[in-house]
Chain A
């Protein structure tokens, strides 16, 4: 039980930030804003979790890092996700510098293997490596590789509704549960009333719940295969004054993915 909790801890955050993400469950889309008047924070987050319940997904993504000096670094990668984000495989396509580098994340990124094609070497990384920035971006491996649900790691409290990014939203504060080891002590999340899609998430420091670290803004939301999907995500890092833009080039849900795809053997291909 403890292990399960541990595995799920990381997830929420990533999920959203994730790019890979896999949103499913469209049933909640029918919820009306009027019925939402009585919803508690926990109920709203439950609906968000339901919405984001991951099936499988295969995506091609573009990640653009904007540095403090204004320079840009662009990466294109392909990703496969299974079991509600518990299994992830990422393989870089561009630029040439990282071509064919691959990352396998299992158990919600608690187990990470990296493949370096230049040396044909696979390196097992410990949990601490989750904190490392992925290719220097504002997304950590933890952000990218975990699935799971917010309610497992956070206690939710509904705050006063607000308009955000031009959308009528619920505002919910999530405070990390004592037994969770997720890297963020607190989240503030704005959820679109119309479809329970989290449009903005603010991430607070692991130790200081008043210290804002990053803000994720999701936009250009389209329904793909019946699933609302943000095709553009911007993570702003307030510590480093950098930002990373994730764009979905292509995504398909509910694809058939064999478990053998998420193995060291597959990593090397």
Chain B
């Protein structure tokens, strides 16, 4: 059966958080008229996820025994799904009931390639509302991260959005070669968005309720950012607009 939307969640441990993430995803998906599926890529959890941990038949588990980069895990997971739209979701993102409906409203709009969403920290501060680029070594960063802000419009265009909650057409994802697996962990999402824009499609961030993002809860995740950042700047410096 062909699905309209497939969520890809790369996750390591944190079983209970993942359960909440899935619960919120399905609650949000209940507002859609189409079938959805979820592929959970178990990225070498010490205790592998089991089907009985996530009894929903729409959840499919894909196990990796060795720790695999986010990009490689996502690319591999996408091979397993047949949906038209892909949603890359972090296990520490809890969607709002209205999030998926609002994101999907923009799927068929002409010229739009990637759709991101406003994300909030649990205390109500903004975690993500779009990625902007600073000059020199500053590079990409989350606009207004940590500020108390309310959205003023339904959506806004950016050069990039976070991969913590990123929707893209499957066909486009495959056409531009998926995420670049040279990145160990981090910035593969920004690299991807820039390549989407190079292909002539736009990247937007929508105001989609109040989804939460706890951010970087997985142990060992942060250390890998440094090499990714070096690679990103080496590859993209001078090729993006300074808008931050």
A binds B: no
